[in-house]
Structure 1
Amino acid sequence: MSSISIELPQVHNNQKSQCCPSNEFITGCWHVTHSSLPLWKGKRNVNITYKLLPIESGVQKIDDLAQYQAINSEKIKSVHGIDTPTPDSPGAWDWRGKGWLVIASSHWECLGFGELDDGNQWVVTYFAKTLFTPAGVDVYSRNKEGLPGDVVEEILGALRGLGVKEITDLADSMFEIPQN
């Protein structure tokens, strides 16, 4: 496998992102295997499914369905929203909740993505701070089993190597999310 390439979130970078996965790459089910976001603490089987919505006024929005279980529960809970591309920010989206969550919004972006030799794909996402949640980083894998440990360590090293305290702190606070 080649070296992992991770970019700074746009809040820390005044250059346009070069990290813009295609819509075909981002759609489908992703397993959130590692995170720094407190909302995933005590959760398991966290996954996010992205589906393309019909293009409206030239804008390709994405249906965003996150599902998860509490560690000691069989009940599947979900958070549903719509992702709209952030203007002039390739690889970045603005999320708005659906239903009773319509009052909630957030900004997220892709910091890195790729495919391993075995065909497993991965994405590293950054979530900006909101009124309800701190900023955070997630690692996604197409495979429920996640990524090999050395790949996770390479991703964490690449995040730390960006040289921004906030991102280093997020990398240092990452935890594994159980998948079963």
Structure 2
Amino acid sequence: MASTERTGLKFRPPTSSAAPSEDFEPPAISWLQGKWHVTHSTLPMWKKNKNVTITYTSLPQNAELLDDLVEYQPVNSNKQKKVEGIDTPDASARGAYSWRGKGLLKIASSHWEVLGYGDEDGGWAVTYFQKTLFTPAGIDVYARQKAGLSETLLEQVKQELRAVQDDNVKKLADTIFPIKHDSL
């Protein structure tokens, strides 16, 4: 399946629903590294939380593996919570990863992939995660800047998601909601 590119942005369908898109070049692991603010999502748990960030760091013993640190706070609290795991690139699909929790969450796993990304507004990415025992399938919108994407870019991202050749992604595109972030 070909990726969509109607607004100048490139998106692809999830690899779980289609053959890998030959014209979609996923981001390099070095581009993914660093802190991302999760500004929009479809994951219900984020409605009760704020200041959601994900930080990816290559592991010293294997630069292809990413240390995955999710940090957030309950909406009515300043208590910091975190979820830690390791992302392993999927050998059969570029830009896709298998996540495995650390510590007590070692029994938990998930599959996620980059559907679209770009450098506009300081850098952004859209990830799709498959359903797990604990979460429904969903979409996250990441931004390098805490302020997130401009309204124009966010609308372009939603438009492209609605055009992706995957019925689940199209439905999810209409349920994306903003995640609260404390002001700077």
Farther off after superposition, 142-151 or 11-20: 11-20
Between the aligned partners of 1:20 and 1:162, the Cα distance in structure 2 is 16
AA matched with 1:106: S
Tell me, which stretches of 5 or more residues in structure 2 are unaligned?
1-6
Q: Cα distance 1:89–1:65, how it changes in 2: closer, same or farther (>3 A)? A: same
**Structure 1 counterpart of 2:59:** 53
Farther off after superposition, 7-16 or 101-110: 7-16
**Structure 1 counterpart of 2:134:** 132
**Structure 2 counterpart of 1:3:** 8
Task: Check whether the contact 1:52–1:62 (CA below 8 A) recurs between aligned residues.
Answer: yes
Farther off after superposition, 13-22 or 78-87: 13-22
Instruction: Report the 3-state secondary structure (helix = DSSP H, G, I; strand = E; otherwise coil) of the residue aligned with 2:110.
Output: strand
Task: Check whether the contact 2:14–2:166 (CA below 8 A) recurs between aligned residues.
Answer: no
Mapping of 1:8-27 within 5 angstroms? 8-16=13-21, 18-27=24-33
Mapping of 1:1-180 within 5 angstroms? 3-16=8-21, 18-56=24-62, 60-116=64-120, 120-180=122-182
Task: Check whether the contact 2:13–2:165 (CA below 8 A) recurs between aligned residues.
Answer: no
Q: CA deviation at 1:163?
A: 4.1
AA matched with 2:51: N
Between the aligned partners of 1:76 and 1:90, the Cα distance in structure 2 is 33
Same amino acid, percent of matched pairs: 47
4+ residue runs over 6 A deviation: none
Q: CA deviation at 1:92?
A: 0.6
Q: TM-score, normalised by structure 1?
A: 0.93
Q: CA deviation at 1:38?
A: 1.1
Q: CA deviation at 1:11?
A: 1.0
Between the aligned partners of 1:142 and 1:149, the Cα distance in structure 2 is 15
Between the aligned partners of 1:6 and 1:16, the Cα distance in structure 2 is 9
Q: TM-score, normalised by structure 2?
A: 0.91
Aligned residues between the structures: 175
Instruction: Report the 3-state secondary structure (helix = DSSP H, G, I; strand = E; otherwise coil) of the residue aligned with 1:60.
Output: strand
Between the aligned partners of 1:96 and 1:24, the Cα distance in structure 2 is 20
Task: Check whether the contact 2:100–2:108 (CA below 8 A) recurs between aligned residues.
Answer: yes
